[in-house]
Amino acid sequence: MSAVIEELHHDGHHHGPDKGIMRWVFTTNHKDIGTLYLWFSFLMFLTGGVLALGIRAELFQPGLQIVQPELFNQLTTMHGLIMVFGAVMPAFVGLANWLIPMMIGAPDMALPRMNNYSFWILPFAFGMLLSTFFMDGGAPNYGWTFYAPLSTDYAPPSVTFFIFAVHMMGISSIMGSINVVVTILNMRAPGMTLMKMPLFVWTWFITAYLLIAVMPVLAGVVTMMLMDIHFGTAFFNAGGGGDPVLFQHVFWFFGHPEVYIMILPAFGVVSAIIPTFARKRLFGYDSMVYATASIAFLSFIVWAHHMFTVGIPLAGELYFMYATMLIAVPTGVKVFNWVATMWQGAMTFETPMLFAIAFVILFTIGGLSGLMLAIVPADFQYHDTYFVVAHFHYVLVPGSIFSIMAAVYYWIPKWTGNMYDETLGKTHFWLSFIGVNVTFFPQHFIGLAGMPRRIPDYALQFADWNMVSSCGAFLFGFSQLLFLFIVIKCIRGGKKATDQVWEGAHGLEWTIPSPAPYHTFTTPPTSMKEAHG
Amino acid sequence: MSGKTAASKTIRQLIFVVVGMFGFGFAMVPLYDVLCDVTGFNGKTAGKYTATEVQDVREDRLVTIQFLASNNANMPWEFRPKVRTMKVHPGKLNTAEFYARNVTGETMVAQAVPSVTPFHAAEFLHKTECFCFEQQQLEAREDLDMPLRFIIDSQIPEDVKTLTLSYTLYDVTEQIGLATN
């Protein structure tokens, strides 16, 4: 397919984008599709954010004020589903679309038409998912992990729409991942060996393999649910010979690699930004590649650490505890790598660098609380408390989402040709940084004190920290409107960006003009000197 | 073009992985059952026990066995053990009875699902006869004494002094209806 398109371009004339709305519907251009993904994920980020603010508004004070428990459960479930599958994952796919071809010197993704399909499935999947709010019995209310039998015997009728929405997202992710792998394996410019690829490409390469391996398992588990609900099977029904705990095993076999799917590309982004603003090469490129691969491998053999309290035998608990703790080793390699890159560097603190440094610090905090949760005897106390909520929000919000914001600030001059407003960018950073910590740090305390997660009301002793947390959430939430404003302002104009944009930036994407032309690298670049920092 | 065939090959391999992993998700179901049967994970007890050799009765040991009966949500039957606790010698055949009564005005089918704690004792509880091996059909307001005959293995670890055998009763009327229609 790629060959056909290349030929067309060589024989015919180079043309720009089509005019009007149809440009976006039929586009096969990796930059257009990247843009679509990024806008879609931002829309979903705001949608999931509104749901989160509903949750925090209810939890501002003890007692039931704003939403009833039935709706509260729908809010937590839909917040999780939309943020994971609608905001974080599509944002990284958007970055992959924009950046991978430009970073490896390819004219486009390998399968441009499939790329278009992968994106356009998503609005329908999430339209269907969101429509469940207006159905009898309401939206999914069984948590984003949709444990059976909550999601089968006790689910609202809308569960069938949820299942099909998950199938559609899965198909979209699998097609997107196949595209990434085929592009990286077959379309690198001559001389761009695997070990010369920028780390963002490497981390996405590994992420794509994770997605290809686990999204079908997710499809399998929701298919089993569908069969239990409608076709009289009993995969998860003990009365019919099934087992609800089986659901958790299959789900977390998907679920644990899934959480690394949401963080590995973030590692790639940060590994691009820190060397640029420290004006040094990355401390250890090879070790970063091997650490990423190790984390990906370990992600497949630790899933039951989410299930310590279901009653697995002692030997199993010990194995999953030690295997989980082992992940701290390659993760530590990465963190020390970033710190060593900054060591004695000529650092400047533009907005992308601020987000990247905050990522390193706050992600490490989230990683350490993860290590605490890995300890089996301690986990029995922490399980299903707000400590878990604090842990995974620390790795996902100032982890994944900060890295996405860092990436947008870092590459937006290349995308639009204009510099963003640095003062506003820094303001956005500090508001977000304060907001995130005020929101999630107190949740460690209330979690250790015993507040369970997924409840609309709580005991009085948790009131103060919940109020603090809610204030932080509203600060963080509304700060993102400033982000929207900065991005729109940057698209409409601003100081012209140079081709290299950042003084210390290295890589093929910085050798092409700003803004990046509609078609780039129609003839492969020859010099690989600039391949990675 | 060689580039195109190389790409098609990669795509074919990746689709193969996708299909394989979808199958693997389903393969986890029997794998899990086998693993549980072999190891007694989750306190699952094995099926009908047929003695291969007569066990020595350990007259010197007494193990307490407690019986629990509970109903799954929305299961209206009355369901309880006739004796709550027994002290038994490992190696000896014992009999216990459970009582069930369909309190509704309709014929219903139930399935009892057993579980043993502590889990590592599950493989030492042998049932030669159990109402849980088959489904129970009761007419409206009919009741039934259901037998359970079991041997506690004489090899049961010394640290196990008490074990709990719990049954949860599930309403499977609808599933049976689906199967026969």
Report pLDDT for B60: 86
Does residue A39 lie within any of the structural domains? yes
Residue A7 counted as domain residue: no
- C-alpha pair distances (Å), A131 with each of A86, A337, A533: 15, 45, 46
Question: Is the pLDDT confidence value at B115 over 90?
Answer: no
Which of B17, B19, B170 is opposite residue A238, by nearest beta carbon? B170
Q: pLDDT: is A238 or A209 the higher one? A: A209
Residue A9 has pLDDT above 50, yes or no: no
Where in the sequence is the domain holding A356, given as residue range(s)? 24-510
Q: What is the mean pLDDT of residues A217-228?
A: 96
Banded pLDDT at A238 (limits 50, 70, 90)? confident
Long-range contacts made by residues A362-366, C-beta under 8 angstroms, separation at least 24? A362/A394, A362/A398, A362/A399, A362/A402, A362/A436, A362/A437, A363/A263, A363/A266, A363/A335, A363/A394, A363/A395, A363/A398, A363/A399, A364/A335, A365/A394, A366/A391, A366/A392, A366/A393, A366/A394, A366/A395, A366/A396, A366/A398, A366/A399
Mutate to test the interface with B, among A2, A215, A246 (most CBs of B within 10 A): A246
pLDDT of the residue at A314: 86
Yes or no, beta carbons of B41 and A312 under 8 Å apart: yes
- Determine what percent of chain A is predicted with pLDDT higher than 90: 89
Amino acid A506 reads H
CB distance A514 to A494 below 8 Å: no
Is there a domain that residue A142 lies in? Answer: yes
Under 8 Å CB-to-CB from A352, ≥6 apart: which residues?
A: A273, A276, A277, A406, A407, A409, A410
As given in the structure block, the two tokens for residue A246 are 């089986």
C-alpha torsion B170→B173→B174→B180, nearest 10 = 130
Q: In total, how many domains does chain A have? A: 1
Mean pLDDT of all residues in A332-337: 97
CA separation (Å) from A470 to A45, A58, A87, A143? Answer: 18, 9, 21, 20
DSSP string, A397-412: IIIIIHHHHHHHHHHH
- Residue A532 belongs to a domain: no
Token pair in block for residue A345: 């560097």
Q: Does residue A16 lie within any of the structural domains?
A: no
Q: What is the distance in angstroms between the Cα of B84 and the nearest Cα belonging to chain A?
A: 23
Give the nearest chain A residue to B44 (CA atoms).
Answer: A243
| Domain assignment present for A8 | no
The ipTM assigned to this model is 0.87
CATH number at residue A420: 1.20.210.10
Q: Closest-CA residue in chain B for A240?
A: B172
Across the interface, do B72 and A316 touch by the CB < 8 Å criterion?
Answer: no
Under the banding of pLDDT at 50, 70 and 90, the label for residue A6 is very low
On average, the pLDDT of chain B sits at 85
pLDDT of res. B173: 85
Interface contact A182-B178, CB threshold 8 A:
no
Most confidently modeled range among A392-396, B54-58, B115-119, B161-165:
A392-396
Residue A154 lies in a domain: yes
Q: Which of A27, A35, A77, A271 is catalytic?
A: A271
Place of tokens 């890589």: A507
pLDDT computed for residue B165 by the predictor: 92
Mean pLDDT of B46-56: 71
User: What is the pLDDT, as a whole number, of residue A21?
Assistant: 86
Tell me the chain A residues in contact with residue B120 when contact means C-beta distances shorter than 8 Å.
313
Residue A350 has pLDDT above 60, yes or no: yes
- Name the percent of chain A lying above pLDDT 70: 96
CB B86 within 8 A of CB B162: no
Topology (CATH level 3) of domain B42-180? Ctag/Cox11 (Pfam 04442) (2.60.370)
The model's pTM is 0.90
- What pLDDT, on a 0 to 100 scale, did the predictor assign at position B59? 83
> Is residue A525 in a domain?
no
